[in-house]
Chain A
Amino acid sequence: KNQVEQSPQSLIILEGKNCTLQCNYTVSPFSNLRWYKQDTGRGPVSLTIMTFSENTKSNGRYTATLDADTKQSSLHITASQLSDSASYICVVSAAWGNNRLAFGKGNQVVVIP
Protein backbone atom coordinates (compact mmCIF):
# COMPACT_ATOMS: atom_id res chain seq x y z
CA LYS A 1 0.00 0.00 0.00
CA ASN A 2 1.31 3.43 -0.96
CA GLN A 3 2.41 5.48 2.03
CA VAL A 4 1.01 8.65 0.45
CA GLU A 5 -2.52 8.70 -0.94
CA GLN A 6 -3.90 11.66 -2.87
CA SER A 7 -7.43 12.50 -3.82
CA PRO A 8 -9.12 13.21 -6.08
CA GLN A 9 -7.03 11.51 -8.74
CA SER A 10 -8.15 14.13 -11.21
CA LEU A 11 -10.51 17.06 -11.41
CA ILE A 12 -11.67 19.68 -13.84
CA ILE A 13 -12.44 23.18 -12.60
CA LEU A 14 -13.54 26.41 -14.18
CA GLU A 15 -11.09 29.26 -14.41
CA GLY A 16 -11.46 31.56 -11.43
CA LYS A 17 -12.85 28.88 -9.11
CA ASN A 18 -11.14 27.45 -6.05
CA CYS A 19 -10.25 23.83 -5.41
CA THR A 20 -8.76 21.73 -2.65
CA LEU A 21 -6.53 18.70 -3.07
CA GLN A 22 -6.10 16.10 -0.34
CA CYS A 23 -3.10 14.09 0.81
CA ASN A 24 -3.17 11.39 3.48
CA TYR A 25 0.02 9.67 4.57
CA THR A 26 1.20 6.89 6.84
CA VAL A 27 4.91 7.72 6.77
CA SER A 28 6.46 7.52 10.23
CA PRO A 29 8.48 9.04 11.71
CA PHE A 30 7.65 12.32 10.04
CA SER A 31 10.04 15.08 9.08
CA ASN A 32 8.32 17.27 6.54
CA LEU A 33 5.66 17.34 3.85
CA ARG A 34 6.07 18.98 0.48
CA TRP A 35 3.76 19.88 -2.36
CA TYR A 36 5.15 20.00 -5.87
CA LYS A 37 3.59 21.19 -9.12
CA GLN A 38 4.48 19.26 -12.25
CA ASP A 39 3.56 20.70 -15.62
CA THR A 40 3.26 18.27 -18.52
CA GLY A 41 6.69 17.37 -19.84
CA ARG A 42 8.49 19.16 -17.03
CA GLY A 43 10.02 18.19 -13.72
CA PRO A 44 8.24 18.88 -10.43
CA VAL A 45 8.65 22.35 -8.92
CA SER A 46 8.45 22.92 -5.18
CA LEU A 47 5.43 24.89 -3.92
CA THR A 48 5.58 24.46 -0.16
CA ILE A 49 7.51 22.60 2.51
CA MET A 50 6.02 22.15 5.98
CA THR A 51 7.52 20.65 9.09
CA PHE A 52 5.72 19.05 12.01
CA SER A 53 5.13 22.37 13.78
CA GLU A 54 3.65 24.19 10.80
CA ASN A 55 -0.10 24.11 10.18
CA THR A 56 -0.29 26.26 7.10
CA LYS A 57 1.96 27.76 4.49
CA SER A 58 1.15 29.88 1.48
CA ASN A 59 2.85 30.48 -1.83
CA GLY A 60 0.85 33.02 -3.80
CA ARG A 61 -2.54 31.52 -4.63
CA TYR A 62 -1.47 28.15 -3.20
CA THR A 63 -2.10 27.43 0.47
CA ALA A 64 -1.07 24.16 2.07
CA THR A 65 -2.30 22.89 5.43
CA LEU A 66 -0.92 20.13 7.59
CA ASP A 67 -2.44 18.17 10.44
CA ALA A 68 0.36 15.96 11.71
CA ASP A 69 -1.92 14.31 14.24
CA THR A 70 -4.30 12.94 11.63
CA LYS A 71 -1.53 12.73 8.99
CA GLN A 72 -3.45 14.79 6.50
CA SER A 73 -2.53 17.69 4.28
CA SER A 74 -4.41 19.77 1.77
CA LEU A 75 -3.44 22.13 -1.00
CA HIS A 76 -5.92 24.90 -1.75
CA ILE A 77 -5.77 26.75 -5.05
CA THR A 78 -7.51 30.11 -5.01
CA ALA A 79 -8.92 31.83 -8.09
CA SER A 80 -7.56 29.19 -10.44
CA GLN A 81 -5.85 30.16 -13.67
CA LEU A 82 -5.30 28.16 -16.85
CA SER A 83 -1.63 27.89 -15.92
CA ASP A 84 -2.62 25.94 -12.80
CA SER A 85 -3.38 22.95 -15.02
CA ALA A 86 -0.81 20.43 -13.83
CA SER A 87 -0.22 17.46 -11.58
CA TYR A 88 0.19 18.30 -7.90
CA ILE A 89 2.36 15.85 -6.02
CA CYS A 90 2.40 15.35 -2.28
CA VAL A 91 5.76 14.17 -0.92
CA VAL A 92 6.44 13.10 2.64
CA SER A 93 9.89 12.85 4.16
CA ALA A 94 10.69 10.48 6.97
CA ALA A 95 13.04 11.70 9.63
CA TRP A 96 15.96 9.75 8.34
CA GLY A 97 16.68 11.65 5.21
CA ASN A 98 16.06 13.10 1.83
CA ASN A 99 16.72 9.82 0.10
CA ARG A 100 13.69 8.23 1.70
CA LEU A 101 10.89 10.31 0.28
CA ALA A 102 7.43 8.88 -0.23
CA PHE A 103 5.66 10.27 -3.30
CA GLY A 104 1.97 10.36 -3.96
CA LYS A 105 0.71 9.65 -7.47
CA GLY A 106 -0.47 13.21 -7.85
CA ASN A 107 -3.70 15.12 -8.33
CA GLN A 108 -4.24 15.94 -11.98
CA VAL A 109 -5.91 19.35 -12.24
CA VAL A 110 -7.34 20.73 -15.45
CA VAL A 111 -8.53 24.32 -15.48
CA ILE A 112 -10.89 25.21 -18.30
CA PRO A 113 -11.96 28.67 -19.45
Chain B
Amino acid sequence: GAGVSQSPSNKVTEKGKDVELRCDPISGHTALYWYRQSLGQGLEFLIYFQGNSAPDKSGLPSDRFSAERTGGSVSTLTIQRTQQEDSAVYLCASSLAGAPKLFFGSGTQLSVL
Protein backbone atom coordinates (compact mmCIF):
# COMPACT_ATOMS: atom_id res chain seq x y z
CA GLY B 1 0.00 0.00 0.00
CA ALA B 2 0.92 3.65 -0.25
CA GLY B 3 1.12 4.28 3.47
CA VAL B 4 1.36 2.62 6.86
CA SER B 5 -1.75 0.56 7.51
CA GLN B 6 -3.01 -0.35 10.97
CA SER B 7 -5.84 -2.62 11.99
CA PRO B 8 -8.24 -2.61 13.57
CA SER B 9 -8.91 1.11 13.63
CA ASN B 10 -10.95 0.68 16.81
CA LYS B 11 -10.94 -2.08 19.40
CA VAL B 12 -13.16 -2.35 22.44
CA THR B 13 -12.31 -5.12 24.86
CA GLU B 14 -13.04 -6.23 28.36
CA LYS B 15 -10.54 -5.95 31.14
CA GLY B 16 -8.42 -9.08 31.34
CA LYS B 17 -8.72 -10.01 27.68
CA ASP B 18 -5.79 -10.18 25.28
CA VAL B 19 -5.65 -7.98 22.17
CA GLU B 20 -3.54 -7.99 19.02
CA LEU B 21 -2.87 -4.86 16.99
CA ARG B 22 -1.47 -5.09 13.49
CA CYS B 23 0.80 -2.78 11.51
CA ASP B 24 1.71 -3.00 7.82
CA PRO B 25 4.63 -0.65 7.18
CA ILE B 26 5.48 1.03 3.90
CA SER B 27 7.14 -1.44 1.57
CA GLY B 28 10.91 -1.16 1.78
CA HIS B 29 10.95 0.53 5.19
CA THR B 30 13.22 -1.49 7.42
CA ALA B 31 12.54 0.51 10.57
CA LEU B 32 9.25 0.12 12.43
CA TYR B 33 8.10 1.81 15.62
CA TRP B 34 5.19 1.44 18.01
CA TYR B 35 3.99 4.36 20.10
CA ARG B 36 1.17 4.89 22.55
CA GLN B 37 -0.73 8.16 22.67
CA SER B 38 -2.90 8.82 25.69
CA LEU B 39 -5.33 11.72 25.82
CA GLY B 40 -3.51 14.98 26.41
CA GLN B 41 -0.10 13.31 26.46
CA GLY B 42 2.80 13.18 24.07
CA LEU B 43 3.60 10.03 22.16
CA GLU B 44 5.19 7.36 24.30
CA PHE B 45 7.78 5.10 22.68
CA LEU B 46 7.07 1.39 23.05
CA ILE B 47 9.31 -0.65 20.76
CA TYR B 48 11.55 -0.27 17.70
CA PHE B 49 12.50 -2.80 15.04
CA GLN B 50 15.35 -2.23 12.59
CA GLY B 51 15.98 -4.90 9.99
CA ASN B 52 17.28 -8.11 11.50
CA SER B 53 18.70 -6.42 14.59
CA ALA B 54 17.37 -7.22 18.03
CA PRO B 55 14.41 -4.94 18.74
CA ASP B 56 14.65 -2.11 21.23
CA LYS B 57 11.99 -3.07 23.76
CA SER B 58 12.97 -0.50 26.35
CA GLY B 59 9.69 1.40 26.09
CA LEU B 60 7.34 -1.48 26.80
CA PRO B 61 5.55 -0.56 30.06
CA SER B 62 5.15 -4.07 31.43
CA ASP B 63 5.61 -7.72 30.55
CA ARG B 64 1.99 -7.80 29.40
CA PHE B 65 3.14 -5.98 26.29
CA SER B 66 5.03 -7.73 23.50
CA ALA B 67 5.58 -7.23 19.81
CA GLU B 68 6.97 -9.16 16.93
CA ARG B 69 7.81 -8.42 13.36
CA THR B 70 7.63 -11.31 10.97
CA GLY B 71 9.68 -11.41 7.80
CA GLY B 72 10.85 -7.88 8.34
CA SER B 73 7.49 -6.48 7.36
CA VAL B 74 4.21 -6.83 9.26
CA SER B 75 4.30 -6.26 13.00
CA THR B 76 1.90 -7.29 15.73
CA LEU B 77 1.64 -5.63 19.13
CA THR B 78 0.07 -7.90 21.73
CA ILE B 79 -1.31 -6.76 25.06
CA GLN B 80 -2.16 -9.55 27.46
CA ARG B 81 -4.64 -9.28 30.32
CA THR B 82 -5.62 -5.76 29.32
CA GLN B 83 -6.18 -3.14 32.00
CA GLN B 84 -8.21 0.04 31.83
CA GLU B 85 -5.04 2.13 31.84
CA ASP B 86 -4.07 0.47 28.55
CA SER B 87 -6.82 2.48 26.85
CA ALA B 88 -5.11 4.75 24.33
CA VAL B 89 -4.32 5.19 20.65
CA TYR B 90 -1.56 2.87 19.50
CA LEU B 91 0.37 4.31 16.60
CA CYS B 92 2.75 2.52 14.29
CA ALA B 93 5.35 4.27 12.16
CA SER B 94 7.94 3.18 9.66
CA SER B 95 10.96 4.74 8.03
CA LEU B 96 13.89 3.97 5.81
CA ALA B 97 16.93 2.86 7.79
CA GLY B 98 18.59 5.85 9.40
CA ALA B 99 16.16 8.34 7.87
CA PRO B 100 14.64 10.87 10.26
CA LYS B 101 11.27 11.08 8.55
CA LEU B 102 8.70 8.80 10.12
CA PHE B 103 5.49 7.81 8.38
CA PHE B 104 2.65 7.08 10.76
CA GLY B 105 -0.42 4.96 10.42
CA SER B 106 -3.80 6.22 11.59
CA GLY B 107 -3.57 4.24 14.78
CA THR B 108 -5.72 1.80 16.69
CA GLN B 109 -8.02 3.30 19.30
CA LEU B 110 -8.07 0.76 22.14
CA SER B 111 -10.77 1.00 24.78
CA VAL B 112 -10.64 -1.35 27.74
CA LEU B 113 -13.90 -1.54 29.65
Contacts and interface: CB of A to CB of B under 8 A. Distances in A.
Interface residues of A, number: 22
B8 to A, nearest CB: 14
Contacts, number: 54
Given A43-B4, A43-B93, A43-B107, A98 B102 contact: yes
Nearest to A101: B45
A32 B100 contact: yes
A99 B33 contact: yes
A111 interface: no
A105 B104 contact: no
Nearest to A32: B100
Interface in B91-108: 91, 93, 95, 98-107
Given A42-B106, A93-B100, A98 B45 contact: no
B14 interface: no
Contacts of A104: 42
Given A43-B4, A43-B107, A105 B41 contact: yes
Interface in A85-111: 89, 93, 98-101, 103-106
Contact of B100 (A34, A44, A45, A105): A34
Interface residues of B, number: 25
Interface string A1-40: 0101000000000000000000000000001101000000
A44 B104 contact: yes
Nearest to B93: A43
Contacts of A31: 100
B21 to A, nearest CB: 13
B20 interface: no
B102 to A, nearest CB: 7
A2 B104 contact: no
A68 interface: no
B71 interface: no
Interface of B: 4, 31, 33, 40-45, 48, 50, 56, 91, 93, 95, 98-107
